[in-house]
Amino acid sequence: MTGLQWNYDVLRNYYASRKLNPIIQHLLQACPGSCVWGIGGHSVVLKVAPGIAAKRDDVIFFELLENGTLHQQLTFVNSPKPIFRWMYQLSLAVAALEPIGYAHGDLNPRNVVFDSEDTLRLIDFDHSLQAGGKVDVGDEPYVRYHNDPSHYGWAGPATEQFALGSLFWYMTRGSELYSELSGFDRVNTLIARKFPSLDLQDPVNRIISNCWEEKYVSVAELVTDLEVILGEEEVIEGRHETINQEEKKIICEKYYREVMALVTAREKNELNQHDA
């Protein structure tokens, strides 16, 4: 998918009254011909010059995922979509965090992206939190207020599967849950736990309903349900290798340690600059 592809001069003019993120400014100025794919909290930088990553120890470079976000796929792409496979891949990604005691915490269509082969990837772990922590970010209908209006519940299988249910609805219907309602009405409808009437004889509808009603003890249990209901051979089409739970845990722990090391280094650097 094509994005904005704005160079530094265009981006600077757009943000004339605001200060650019210094990292983005540095990248664009250091790399002639570089540009950003989008603007906002999750801009993508293209054509980064070799070796620039070595200039900072608090910048992580990820591959450009060419086929955009879930929202873009459902809005702009008219070709047939492997919805069942996407449901399975997304559930696997979320379930992989459970063995290390974490939840993604911000599941929504902007954080679900696709590579050139339409394989689903889950991104944006900056709001991930330990199971049992307060979920204080999110957008309806992927979160809902509970008894305490200051947060969206306690991170864990309940909050994650609720978000997954709404994402599955979006994948299968093409429009977000209660998109026809105003923001205020949508919030109150979700607080009241009012959901569309579904034909529960349909296995996908049954999974969506189970997620909204938070019936799964874990997201791993949801994965098992998907394998049974949707047919393991059909759904696992995009899964090229079998990884047991212990291997998943090791991979996730390694990734988390690397990310936290970068965060700690950045915090120390900011503290040293402040003391100076």
Q: Which of 36, 34, 42 is nearest to 5 (CA)?
A: 36
Q: Is residue 49 part of a domain?
A: yes
Claim to verify: residue 108 and residue 180 sit in the same structural domain? yes
Claim to verify: residue 99 and residue 224 sit in the same structural domain? yes
Q: Is residue 42 part of a domain?
A: yes
Q: Is residue 276 part of a domain?
A: no
Claim to verify: residue 246 and residue 185 sit in the same structural domain? yes
Claim to verify: residue 164 and residue 208 sit in the same structural domain? yes
The pLDDT tens digits for 21-56 are 665 666 666 666 666 655 555 555 554 555 554 555
**How many structural domains are present in the chain?**
2
Claim to verify: residue 139 and residue 179 sit in the same structural domain? yes
Claim to verify: residue 153 and residue 187 sit in the same structural domain? yes
Expressed as residue numbers, the domain containing 220 is 70-251
pTM comes to 0.67
The pLDDT tens digits for 113-160 are 888 888 898 888 778 888 888 888 888 999 988 766 667 888 899 999
Claim to verify: residue 36 and residue 146 sit in the same structural domain? no
- List C-alpha distances in Å: 72 to 22, 50, 90, 240: 28, 30, 16, 25
Task: Pick 127 or 227 by higher pLDDT.
Answer: 227
CATH number at residue 127: 1.10.510.10
For the segment 72-100, the average pLDDT, to the nearest whole number, is 89
Q: Is residue 260 part of a domain?
A: no
Claim to verify: residue 111 and residue 203 sit in the same structural domain? yes
pLDDT at 1: 40
- Position 92 pLDDT exceeds 60: yes
Claim to verify: residue 115 and residue 204 sit in the same structural domain? yes
Instruction: At 179, list the tokens.
Output: 């998109």
- Report the share of the chain in percent with pLDDT over 90: 29
Claim to verify: residue 103 and residue 206 sit in the same structural domain? yes
Claim to verify: residue 88 and residue 18 sit in the same structural domain? no
pLDDT at 36: 66
Crossing angle, helix 219-230 and helix 83-95, to 10 degrees? Answer: 150
Claim to verify: residue 150 and residue 207 sit in the same structural domain? yes
Q: Is residue 128 part of a domain?
A: yes
The pLDDT tens digits for 162-178 are 999 999 999 999 899 99
Q: Is residue 262 part of a domain?
A: no
